[in-house]
Chains A and B, each alone.
Chain A
Amino acid sequence: MSAARRCSPPRALAGLFVWHLKNTGIRQIPCRFVHLWRVANDRLVTFQYFTFLKRMYVMQYNKDLSQRAKPKSDSVAFPFRELQQLDQDKKIIHEIRRISPVHQPLSETSSRKELREMKSAAETEDSVTPVRAESKEDRQWKEMKLRLDDLPGILARLSKIKLTALVVSTTSAGFAMAPVPFDLTCFLLASLGTGLASCAANSINQFFEVPFDSNMNRTKTRPLVRGQISPLLAVCFAASCGVPGIALLTLGVNPLTGALGAFNIFLYTCCYTPMKRMSIANTWVGAVVGAIPPVMGWTAATGSLDAGALLLGGILYSWQFPHFNALSWGLREDYSRGGYCMMSVTHPGLCRRVALRHCLALIGLSTVAPVLDITTWTFPIISLPINLYISYLGFRFYRDADRSSSRKLFFCSLWHLPMLLLVMFTCKKSFLEKEDKGDLLGGNHGRAMEIRLP
């Protein structure tokens, strides 16, 4: 019931909120800040979710691919867990795993291919100065002076803005699935607060990992690594995002959501990030980090932590494993050299088992959804094909344990999650339907209830 919702709506914030993702009209606005933002972020994501993902990965590929391609001037962090990294989640910062280059044909089973890959990997590692890989600009000495024009772009990269966007979209999914009437103000506040918290968590993560990021191909173009911003400024930025973000969630939405947000930032920056270098258990902590944002979306809408929230969190939690484990399979060399403790390096069998296990868990969780009255029974039926497909790929990965199966599984996870959430939303059990049913069953009791409520 709406009485349970605790979204105290402040005024007019929604109207002023500029979400860069979808606002193409912004280019006409003669606002200096927007102009700077646009100039610095020409490559801002398109609103189209999937295309966005594809572009992100393709760019990443090009960058990492062979270090022979001209590198993009932007560093596009490829969040390996970013998709599920619902903002504040520590997971958000999942390191973007280097994905094998897309333009290699998918029939990668020939040993020649492996050999070539190894050669290119060896080459890039052996070459003392990968001149072709880095742009000429990157080989020059730069003055460590912060230019205001560059700042928006730098902060966007520092906060892993694309990952943050994905996290916020998972939060929106959680909000949308909640069985309450849709409140736009609450929705926008929750999204904004979550986004800010995510930015803060990502910035702190980068602050903690500078020398390690320098040594990994995927992350060596980050702002702190390149000296584009000082650590002090990074921390100040994180504080100036995190504090208002959590405050917004606590005061503007509800304290439960704020607490979850703060907890998630803590889990991500103080548990997941150091644990990455200490024990393989970091993967499970990271999965929790990724699961919390949709829970936050749900609690923002309903004000309480019920079974539906936990189910959504559970789905995101399970999804993390095939996504990350498949991704990390191709990054074993960098992890080994960088000193990261990941299952794919230390316990490869476990890595594949866990991925398969959680693919199957997704099927189970999808079946539980109608039992909890979150969706209709069409949801498990419609989602069965995609869940079966990812389980199949998980099984192939488990059995073959090679690069091509890991890539296939990873790519599948990229479209699997948005599609699953979309199907879930379309199969959402209308809460009016539920209320009607309640009235029918309750009869007089129901009417009496209605009168009592304000």
Chain B
Amino acid sequence: MAAARTLRGGGCCRHCRLLFSSSFSSAGGGPTAQRGERQESAGLGFSPPAHSRNDWIGPPDKHSNLRPVIFYVPPEESPLERRLREARQEAQASDQHFWAQHNRTFRQEKEEFIYSRLKAKGLEMRDETGQKATLNAEEMADFYKDFLSKNFRKHMQYNRDWYKRNFTITFLMGQVALARALRRLRWKKKNVGNQ
């Protein structure tokens, strides 16, 4: 449910489960129930046109900076294609969750750092013109160094996961592409044979 929460607006779990079905136990037979139809994307505020047979990619998410993808479920989806789609959905959900939380933490800690430094200097958060006071790059450098070392282990873990997922998905894409090519070849041969 965490991923659902990080998407825009709350309360879209019902719709999101269709999008990230494999991530949630409550998903049930979400995508399979809608064979041949596009998954709901109410949580993202966009619905691809009905005639389109491709995935759609949207603008970057405001928290994670990642672009969400709405996957197309073809009516005659093979098990291999389904595995690929679900792997991509899972990866998307996991990445979204990680980066949204990470960026939010960064912003929060940065604010706290600025606040504590300004207080130490005896300044207010907003100067006389009402603008938010900030620190210069050299003062922020301490925060950046600290933040990087604090999150090092988290990044190591994420890197491992990301590389693994990336290779798996790309490999699956290769298998699907090959299967489709063979299928088309067989279909063409069959057609030629019939004529």
**A residues neighboring B (CB under 8 Å):** 111, 114-115, 117-119, 122, 125-126, 128-129, 134, 138-145, 207-208, 210-211, 214-215, 220, 225-227, 230-232, 235, 274, 277-278, 330, 332-333, 335-337, 339, 341, 345-346, 348, 401-403
Contact = CB atoms under 8 A, between A and B. Distances in A.
Nearest to A216: B65
B162 A402 contact: no
Nearest to A339: B155
Contacts of A207: 166, 170
Contacts of B147: 336-337
Contacts of B192: none
Given A333-B140, A335-B148, A144 B56 contact: yes
B59 A346 contact: no
B119 interface: no
In this complex, which of B63, B137, B138 has the most chain A Cβ atoms within 10 angstroms of its Cβ?
B137
Contacts of A118: 134-137, 140
B57 A227 contact: yes
A278 B156 contact: yes
Contacts of A336: 106, 143-145, 147-148
B114 to A, nearest CB: 9
A138 B59 contact: yes
A119 B132 contact: yes
B78 interface: no
B70 to A, nearest CB: 8
In this complex, which of A208, A211, A231, A333 has the most chain B Cβ atoms within 10 angstroms of its Cβ?
A211
Contact of B65 (A145, A220, A227): A220
The main secondary structure of chain A at its interface with chain B is helix
Given A140-B59, A335-B148, A346-B149, 6 more contacts: A115-B134, A119-B131, A144-B55, A214-B66, A214-B99, A277-B155
B190 interface: no
B173 interface: yes
6 contacts: A126-B107, A138-B59, A141-B56, A215-B103, A227-B67, A339-B152
Interface of B: 46, 48, 52, 54-60, 62-67, 69-70, 95, 99, 102-103, 106-107, 131-138, 140-141, 143-145, 147-149, 151-152, 155-156, 158-159, 162-163, 166, 169-170, 173-174, 177
B138 A402 contact: yes
Nearest to A403: B137
Contacts of A235: 170
B134 A232 contact: no
A345 B162 contact: no
Contacts of A335: 144, 148
A232 B159 contact: no
Nearest to B156: A278
Given A231-B169, A232-B177, A335-B148, A211 B162 contact: yes
A226 B65 CA distance: 11
Contacts of A231: 166, 169-170, 173
B54 A144 contact: yes
Nearest to A120: B134
Nearest to A329: B137
B144 A333 contact: yes
Contact of B56 (A119, A143, A220): A143
Given A114-B136, A143-B54, A346 B148 contact: yes
B65 A274 contact: no
B149 to A, nearest CB: 7
A330 B57 CA distance: 31
Given A125-B107, A139-B59, A141-B57, A211 B140 contact: no
Nearest to A215: B65
Given A141-B59, A332-B137, A345-B144, A211 B132 contact: no
B144 A227 contact: no
Contacts of A210: 166
B49 to A, nearest CB: 9
Nearest to B105: A337
Given A128-B62, A277-B155, A336-B148, A122 B170 contact: no
A345 B55 CA distance: 39
A215 B166 CA distance: 17
Across the A-B interface, the 8 shortest Cβ-Cβ residue pairs: A336-B144, A339-B155, A227-B57, A118-B134, A114-B136, A128-B62, A232-B173, A144-B55
Contact of A142 (B56, B65, B103): B56
B140 A226 contact: no
A163 to B, nearest CB: 22
Given A126-B107, A129-B62, A336-B147, A143 B48 contact: yes
A140 B52 CA distance: 16
A401 B67 contact: no
A215 B67 contact: no
A235 B159 CA distance: 19
Given A215-B65, A232-B177, A141 B46 contact: yes
Nearest to A342: B148
Contacts of B170: 207, 231-232, 235
B54 A145 contact: yes
A117 B57 contact: no
Contacts of A128: 62-63
Given A114-B136, A125-B107, A143-B52, A332 B144 contact: yes
